[in-house]
Structure formats: C-alpha cells, structure tokens
C-alpha cells in the first residue's frame, strides 16, 4: 500500500467534508497545512512525533460538524500544533493578522496556563470554525490543570477575575459540582476563549463529570437559566444509553458572559465511543438524535463517508463524541469525527460467521 503523509491523509478527509458542506476547501486546507507545519510531511508509517490527546490514536486533528437550528452547518477542526504550546502560539501569531484575530483576552490570561505539561496532557489547543462564505473563526483551549489538579479552581478564578467574569463562575461552581467532588470526580477540564471581538465573543468553561449518570449532568446544567434539565437527561440517554458513564466522562460546558451572574449557555458532550460496540451503532444513535432535533440525516451519512476509510462496523471511535448545544449563541447538535490517521480501535463485538 502507498505510504501516505499526515497531511495527505487529513487533507483527503477535509477536502470531501468541505464539498459535502458546500464550502470552498481552499482556506481550510491552507490552515490545516499551517497547523501541521513540517509535521505534515511525516509518514503515517512512523509514530506521531507529538502524541496529541486530541484523539485516541494521537492524531493532531479532530473534525466536527455543527448542525445549527437557525443557519447552515459549520465545519470545525480541533487541532494541536505539534511541538507544544510555543509552537501553537507561533501559529496563532502568524494567523492573527491574516484572519483578524483578537488576542487581547488570551494575552491577559495566558501566563496562568503555561506550566510545562506532563506527557499525555496539553497546554494549548485551537479550534478553527468554518462557515460558508465567512472568514474562519478561531478559538483556543487552555488547560486549567496545567499546574496540577488541585490548583485548577484558583487558576480559573484568577483568569475569570481578570476577564471580569468571576461572578458567574462562583455561581456555576456552587451549583454544578457534586458535593466534595471538585478536583476528584468533577474536574475543570478546559478553559476556552474566542479569538474575536464581536458581541458573541465567549469564554467557555468545561467540567468533566467522571462516573456520573444523566441525572448528575442534568443537575449540573440546571444552573443555566433557560436550560431544561430534562432535555439534558434525554440527550444523554439517547446518545449514551442508560446507566452510569463509567468510561470516558460526560462533559458539560458553560458559556460565561460579562455582566451576568449566571452562565448564559450550556452544552453537554457525550463520549459516545465508550458506550457503543462499533461505529455503526454510534452512527445509528447519532442519526436518531439528529432526527429528534429536526435535522436531516442524509448530511450525517455523507460527512461520515467523507472521513471514514473502513466499514463502520469494523471499528469504534470514528464518531468520538456528540454534543447538544443549548441557549445562545447557536443551539444545535455537533458530531465529532476522528481522523483515525494512525489507528482504528477494534469493535467491541466481534461478528463470528456461522460454521
């Protein structure tokens, strides 16, 4: 078989994804090459130079498709610039002028999130969002636990204080953490900033709920005005199935806005890959979820076909997460697709042909 490079593999998925979503692939492909840098030319036969935690197989990219209630779907790339945080900041500095990024808020907090990270962890991830006919939007994810799990709450408090968002953080912590579980089963996992100045520029704070059930997530969501906890429960059940989530954790994110005493938006992320046998089951569940929220499923099938390089029943994890976004700015459902550049996780159920 021909020996593909990292960039060839990922571009070979991004290009058809753009076509399916009726977007010009030129800018997305250009940014993909920029994120990868010299790493893009590496052969996939060699182990990843930088073992990113973005995906289970250490691919530095994860695709996602955001189905929106009131506008066409968006395409997103979650990316880690190989080589560590400094390489990531260099990439952003290069993109800042070209794409009009607003980095003042990042500059205001970045010193807090720049310890040397242990292997298997991260310091800086980027998300690139493409909407048809618009300039790409950038978002960064910082790691609240860079200086250790115990220091995460004070670090986030300091960062949000600097950004004038301390009030809604305190409300959120008081009502979303299970008693005594902060830094234990409830963890502050990501601190995300939009790199633009618009009225919708957001800070998002993510909580991972380990060993939780749908009711725990619903309780944690209830702090956000306008969010119906029953909807969160129903989504966890539909995407993840019944019972406790004792594999990868349920994750909730809170959108914080200046001047509000409570968070203004909430999303719940279900790591569906730990709760299905294979990707055919994941695909069927996600199709049912999309239908339930009024989205057609044909687009899902075409997006999955653009990314997958194998029969869906032959592995698990191509569909990594599915999330429900509630409240402003953009309600909808997002489906996360793994690049599987290096590896496919075998399915849990093995089909044995009859003798």
For ligand TRP, the binding residues (CB under 6 A) are 53-55, 62, 78, 248, 251, 269, 271, 321, 336
For 283-311, the DSSP string reads HHHHHHHHHHTT--SHHHHHHHHHH--S-
Report in angstroms how near the CB of residue 258 gets to ligand TRP at its nearest.
25
User: Judged by CB, which is closer to ligand TRP: 208, or 233?
Assistant: 208
User: Judged by CB, which is closer to ligand TRP: 218, or 251?
Assistant: 251
Report in angstroms how near the CB of residue 248 gets to ligand TRP at its nearest.
6
Report in angstroms how near the CB of residue 52 gets to ligand TRP at its nearest.
9
User: Judged by CB, which is closer to ligand TRP: 224, or 320?
Assistant: 320
Report whether 340 contacts 59 (CB < 8 A).
yes
**What tokens does 232 get?**
């969160």
Q: For 11, which DSSP code?
A: H
User: Judged by CB, which is closer to ligand TRP: 7, or 335?
Assistant: 335
User: Judged by CB, which is closer to ligand TRP: 162, or 348?
Assistant: 348
Which has the closest alpha carbon to 59: 345, 248, 342, 344? 342
Q: What is residue 281's three-state secondary structure?
A: helix
User: Judged by CB, which is closer to ligand TRP: 54, or 95?
Assistant: 54
Report in angstroms how near the CB of residue 206 gets to ligand TRP at its nearest.
7
Please give the Cα distance from 127 to 237 (Å, whole number).
28
User: What is the Cβ-side half-sphere exposure of residue 119, based on CA atoms within 13 angstroms?
Assistant: 4
Report whether 63 contacts 21 (CB < 8 A).
no
**What tokens does 230 get?**
């029953």
User: What is the Cβ-side half-sphere exposure of residue 312, based on CA atoms within 13 angstroms?
Assistant: 20
CA dihedral (129, 206, 339, 84) positive or negative: positive
- Which are the contacts of 35, defined by CB distance < 8 A and separation ≥ 6? 60, 61, 77, 79, 81, 91, 126, 128
User: Judged by CB, which is closer to ligand TRP: 54, or 203?
Assistant: 54
User: Judged by CB, which is closer to ligand TRP: 209, or 321?
Assistant: 321
Report in angstroms how near the CB of residue 269 gets to ligand TRP at its nearest.
4
User: Judged by CB, which is closer to ligand TRP: 172, or 268?
Assistant: 268
**What tokens does 250 get?**
């349920």
User: Judged by CB, which is closer to ligand TRP: 283, or 321?
Assistant: 321
Please give the Cα distance from 308 to 315 (Å, whole number).
10
Report in angstroms how near the CB of residue 252 gets to ligand TRP at its nearest.
10
Which has the closest alpha carbon to 232: 184, 188, 266, 280? 266
Which residue's CB comes closest to ligand TRP? 269
Report in angstroms how near the CB of residue 306 gets to ligand TRP at its nearest.
18
Report in angstroms how near the CB of residue 273 gets to ligand TRP at its nearest.
8
Report in angstroms how near the CB of residue 321 gets to ligand TRP at its nearest.
4
Report in angstroms how near the CB of residue 127 gets to ligand TRP at its nearest.
9
Dihedral angle at the C-alpha atoms of 161, 165, 166, 167, nearest 10 degrees?
A: 160
Q: For 62, which DSSP code?
A: E
**What tokens does 107 get?**
């500059």
Q: What is residue 316's three-state secondary structure?
A: strand
């Amino acid at each position: 078989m021909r020996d593909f490079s990292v960039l060839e593999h990922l571009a070979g998925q991004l290009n058809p994804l753009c076509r399916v979503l009726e977007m010009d692939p030129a800018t997305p492909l250009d940014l993909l090459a920029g994120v990868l840098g010299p790493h893009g030319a590496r052969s996939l036969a060699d182990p990843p130079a930088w073992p990113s935690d973005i995906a289970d197989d250490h691919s530095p990219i994860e695709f996602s498709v955001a189905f929106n209630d009131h506008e066409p779907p968006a395409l997103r790339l979650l990316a880690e610039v190989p080589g560590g945080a400094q390489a990531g900041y260099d990439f952003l500095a290069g993109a800042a002028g070209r794409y009009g990024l607003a980095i003042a808020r990042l500059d205001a907090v970045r010193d807090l999130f720049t310890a040397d990270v242990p292997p298997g962890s991260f310091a800086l991830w980027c998300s690139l969002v493409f909407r048809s006919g618009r300039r790409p939007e950038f978002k960064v994810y910082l790691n609240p636990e860079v200086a250790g799990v115990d220091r995460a709450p004070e670090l986030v408090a300091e960062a949000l204080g600097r950004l004038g968002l301390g009030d809604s953080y305190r409300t959120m912590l008081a009502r979303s953490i299970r008693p005594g579980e902060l830094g234990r089963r409830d963890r502050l996992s990501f601190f995300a900033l939009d790199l633009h100045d618009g009225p919708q520029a957001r800070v998002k704070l993510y909580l991972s709920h380990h060993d939780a059930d749908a009711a725990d997530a619903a309780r944690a969501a209830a702090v956000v005005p306008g969010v119906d906890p029953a909807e969160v429960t129903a989504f966890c059940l539909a995407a993840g199935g019944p019972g406790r989530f004792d594999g990868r954790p349920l994750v909730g994110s809170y959108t914080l806005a200046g001047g509000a005493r409570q968070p203004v938006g909430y999303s719940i992320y279900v790591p569906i890959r730990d709760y299905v046998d294979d990707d055919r089951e994941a695909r069927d569940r996600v199709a049912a979820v999309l239908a339930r929220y009024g989205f057609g499923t044909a687009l899902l099938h075409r997006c999955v076909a653009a990314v997958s390089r194998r029969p869906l029943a032959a592995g698990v994890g191509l569909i990594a997460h599915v999330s429900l976004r509630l409240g402003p700015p953009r309600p909808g459902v997002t489906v996360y697709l793994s690049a599987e550049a290096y590896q496919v996780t075998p399915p849990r159920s093995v089909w044995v042909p009859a003798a």
